[in-house]
């Protein structure tokens, strides 16, 4: 192979790798495969089960934070810019999520291979991409979907947050000791700051920040702080034995860019040969 052709092949591979890496980053869960009757995403998280070493609580939060942060985290960053006061910011975020989400049962909205899913957890970016402020479309989800969406937005907005795993329910706590309108204030066993966590209940459009539902005021639930490596336990390694259902898709704009770059390289090579 001539040196000119080597340069061409190397350039083409670089362009393709860059395009694919950009595309994968925009879709935190790009594929799903079935294991032992449950559906796992490409991070190895069981979307049908909250419990266990691969359950979605609390590990699904990791898909939309740190190096995987995307739309939901960016929404939080926007709120941090727009609301300097932490209390105003916290109230505005909850109202925003309540405005652009609607409660719906998983079995009515999620189907895999033709089978309605009695339980299906969405990560924060999947929820964030499902609503559209321009068209008025709302994201449909249940308690854990709204909790993960709230959690990522609050972390992006500069708050400490914790996913609540309660009997038949999921919600969120945020650290906001300066908030004065909560009906209950909570402390977490591994947090040395003491009392100052307030409940975030997004499943009802009129639930105010800091309102703990009566069914959970006596405790009996667990909170898993997110967004801080001091609290999060890493999920156990999961080795998939199935082939993902689909390869990551390439956005049309990215594909046009690739074609343009390849065409330019071909023209440059043609001119070189004429010389």
3-state SS track over 126-146: HHHHHCECCCCECEEECHHHH
Tell me, rounded to whole angstroms, the distance of Cα 71 from its chain centroid: 8
Domain boundaries, the chain: 3-161+254-274
- Cβ–Cβ under 8 Å, residues 137 and 120: no
Average pLDDT of the chain, as a whole number: 81
List the one residue out of 166, 82, 65 whose CA is nearest residue 123.
Answer: 65
Phi, psi of 198 (to 5 degrees): -120, 150
Mean pLDDT of 135-156: 97
User: pLDDT of 83-111, one tens digit each?
Assistant: 999 999 999 999 999 999 999 999 999 99
Whether residue 120 is predicted with pLDDT greater than 90 in this model: the reply is yes
User: pLDDT of 54-93, one tens digit each?
Assistant: 999 989 999 999 999 999 999 999 999 999 999 999 999 9
C-alpha span between 168 and 166 (Å, rounded): 6
Mean pLDDT of 219-242: 56
pLDDT band at 1 (very low <50, low <70, confident <90, very high): low
Structure tokens at 267: 């023209």
Structure tokens at 251: 């956005």
pTM of the model: 0.74
List the one residue out of 207, 198, 192 whose CA is nearest residue 164.
Answer: 198
Whether residue 231 is predicted with pLDDT greater than 80 in this model: the reply is no
C-alpha span between 251 and 22 (Å, rounded): 10
């Amino acid at each position: 192979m001539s040196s000119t052709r080597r340069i061409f092949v190397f350039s083409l591979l670089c362009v393709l790798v860059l395009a694919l890496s950009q595309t994968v980053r925009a879709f935190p869960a790009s594929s799903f495969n079935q294991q032992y009757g449950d559906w796992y995403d490409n991070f190895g998280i069981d979307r049908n089960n909250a419990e266990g070493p691969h359950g979605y609580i609390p590990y699904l939060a990791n898909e939309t934070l740190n190096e995987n942060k995307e739309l939901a985290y960016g929404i939080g960053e926007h709120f941090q810019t727009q609301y300097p006061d932490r209390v105003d910011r916290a109230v505005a975020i909850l109202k925003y999520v309540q405005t652009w989400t609607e409660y719906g049962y998983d079995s009515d909205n999620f189907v895999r291979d033709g089978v309605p899913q009695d339980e299906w957890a969405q990560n924060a970016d999947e929820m964030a991409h499902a609503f559209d402020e321009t068209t008025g479309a709302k994201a449909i989800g249940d308690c854990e979907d709204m909790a993960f969406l709230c959690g990522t937005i609050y972390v992006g907005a500069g708050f400490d947050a914790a996913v609540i795993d309660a009997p038949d329910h999921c919600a969120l706590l945020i650290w906001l000791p300066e908030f004065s309108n909560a009906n209950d204030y909570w402390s977490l066993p591994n947090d040395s700051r003491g009392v100052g966590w307030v409940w975030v209940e997004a499943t009802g459009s009129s639930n105010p920040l800091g309102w703990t539902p009566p069914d959970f005021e006596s405790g009996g639930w667990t909170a898993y702080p997110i967004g801080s490596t001091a609290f999060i336990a890493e999920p156990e390694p999961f080795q998939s034995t199935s082939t993902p259902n689909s390869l990551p898709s390439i956005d049309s704009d990215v594909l046009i860019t690739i074609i343009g770059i390849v065409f330019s390289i071909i023209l440059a090579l043609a001119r070189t040969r004429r010389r």
